[in-house]
């Protein structure tokens, strides 16, 4: 029974990774089509944060809080240095909250359909 649980966990991780790749592709397509963003550094940081958000389930909330703080620290410091505009700051902040919401919904959808052991 333990062996089957490992396979289920690996399939879930694979599904999450495929989801991340597909959503990332569509996000970048939408960004380049509709918005005039100069740098994709924050989106790359956000994608790393999304992957680590899934790992938060195993490592706890302190890791998630620290990474969120680091993301906003980089974002605000670049805004203070005038590397990004106020519009880009708002857009990247909204992307953060939308991505976290989508991740939570996907976790609920995937884990909600699993049979209980």
Q: Tens digit of pLDDT for each residue in 7-54? A: 676 777 777 777 777 777 777 777 777 777 667 777 777 777 777 776
Residue listed under structure tokens 């991340």: 20
Distance CA 90, CA 86 (A): 6
Lowest-confidence region among 69-78, 79-88, 92-101, 107-116: 107-116
Pair 27, 44: CB distance under 8 Å: no
How much of the chain exceeds pLDDT 70, in percent? Answer: 77
Q: The whole model's pTM is what?
A: 0.54
Q: Tell me 116's DSSP state.
A: P
Question: Would you kindly state where each structural domain of the chain is located, as residue ranges?
Answer: 2-112
The pLDDT mean for the chain works out to 75
């Amino acid at each position: 029974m333990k062996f089957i649980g490992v396979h289920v966990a690996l399939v879930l991780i694979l599904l999450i990774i495929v989801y991340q790749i597909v959503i990332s592709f569509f996000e970048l397509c939408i960004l380049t089509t509709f918005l005039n963003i100069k740098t994709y550094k924050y989106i790359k940081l956000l994608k790393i944060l999304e992957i680590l958000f899934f790992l938060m389930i195993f490592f706890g909330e302190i890791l998630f809080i620290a990474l969120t703080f680091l993301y906003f620290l980089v974002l605000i410091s670049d805004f203070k240095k005038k590397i990004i505009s106020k519009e880009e700051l708002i857009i990247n902040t909204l992307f953060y909250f939308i991505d976290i919401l989508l991740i939570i919904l996907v976790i609920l959808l995937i884990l909600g359909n699993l049979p209980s052991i």
